[in-house]
Amino acid sequence: MWPETWQTARMPSPSLLSGAVDVLTAFDADHTEWRLSDLSRHLDVPTSTLHEQLLALCETGLLLRVGRGRYRLGWRLLKLSSALYGSLPWYAPAHAAMERVARGTHRLAFLCVLDGEDRVLCIARSVQGRDGPPVAGELDYQLPAHATASGKLLLAYAGRPLPRPAVTFTPGTVTDAGTWDVQAREIRAQGYAVTADEWATGTASLAVPLRGADGGVLAALGVSVPTPRLRERHSLLRALHGAADDLNWTLGWRPPRATHG
């Protein structure tokens, strides 16, 4: 019994793990360094509790203390990210395609993947393309699957039902299973997804699939825009489809030719 008790004691609790994840995901291209007091306000966590979490993360090498009360991501994460990127040979060209879309459209571009049953993760976000007012999701790592274009596209191609519970964010959020089934069929038929004012009023998004050599959907390539800019839908879709088609071809995907008879 002693080994099991010792191992159980050494296992971090779910709350501790969740707290560590919250701390690490607070770092992004816009926040490469945090002060303890600022991060405490951002996460709404007491400074005493947060300080303990930061010290623990520094001990593991996942964070680095760079000054009094200032922290950056640690070198150990670079090792982990290198291992992850090495297992995803499509990521580097997909990231380049995302940046190409951002430069060409002057809009915020995303790469998203489906993680688990209905969790959508934004694994990359462009540093260009931030013209205009802020849009929902500029800093978010996890996106609502049923209320964003990337999420809807990934759910539709995976044949997933509407997530439960389907949280209502705005009057436009889809929470009815029958409505979702119709939308999912439309997304697969047209090859893209679009949302407007479904996650946050004033924000719209579009997304297209990125495919591997076997035709399976690897990720969603999308853009997020202020809703009034959705009038640019056709030019945005041209940019998204152009980048996606080039990448899909590079990755070995050859769409089946239409047959006539």
How does pLDDT run across 61-114, given as a tens digit for each residue? 999 999 888 999 998 887 887 777 777 889 999 999 999 999 999 999 999 999
- Domain annotation covers residue 66: yes
Is the same domain home to 132 and 224?
yes
Determine the Cα–Cα distance for residues 26 and 139; give it in Å rounded to an integer. Answer: 9
pLDDT for the residue numbered 101: 95
pLDDT for the residue numbered 43: 92
Does 154 or 9 have the greater pLDDT score? 154
Q: State pLDDT tens for residues 168-212.
A: 999 999 999 999 999 999 999 999 999 999 999 999 999 999 999
Counting the structural domains of the chain, the total is 2
pLDDT for the residue numbered 11: 44
- Domain annotation covers residue 217: yes
85 neighbors 45 (Cβ within 8 angstroms): no
pLDDT for the residue numbered 125: 83
Is the same domain home to 60 and 98?
no
153 neighbors 208 (Cβ within 8 angstroms): yes
Q: State pLDDT tens for residues 35-66.
A: 999 999 999 999 999 998 999 999 999 999 99
Is the same domain home to 30 and 140?
no
CATH number at residue 10: 1.10.10.10
pLDDT for the residue numbered 258: 56
How many Å is the Cα radius of gyration of the chain?
21
Is the same domain home to 236 and 156?
yes
pLDDT band at 8 (very low <50, low <70, confident <90, very high): very low
The pTM of this model reads 0.73
Task: Please state the rounded mean pLDDT for residues 126-151.
Answer: 73
Is the same domain home to 142 and 181?
yes
Tell me which of 49, 77, 105 is where a domain ends. Answer: 77
Tell me which of 53, 77, 101 is where a domain ends. Answer: 77
Task: Please state the rounded mean pLDDT for residues 1-5.
Answer: 37
Is the same domain home to 73 and 92?
no
pLDDT for the residue numbered 137: 57
pLDDT for the residue numbered 2: 35
Structure tokens that stand for 197 in this block: 């004012």
Residue type, 259: T
pLDDT for the residue numbered 14: 54
Tell me which of 77, 103, 119 is where a domain ends. Answer: 77
Domain around 207:
88-250
pLDDT for the residue numbered 6: 29
Report which DSSP code applies to 80: H
Is the same domain home to 132 and 69?
no
Q: In what order do the strands lie in the sheet with 70-73?
A: 33-35, 70-73, 63-67
- Domain annotation covers residue 231: yes
Is the same domain home to 15 and 144?
no
Is the same domain home to 144 and 228?
yes
Asked if omega into 3 is within 30° of 0 (cis), the reply is: no
Is the same domain home to 38 and 109?
no
SS3 content of the chain, % helix, strand, coil (to 5): 45, 20, 35
- Domain annotation covers residue 257: no
For the chain, give the percent of residues with pLDDT over 90: 61
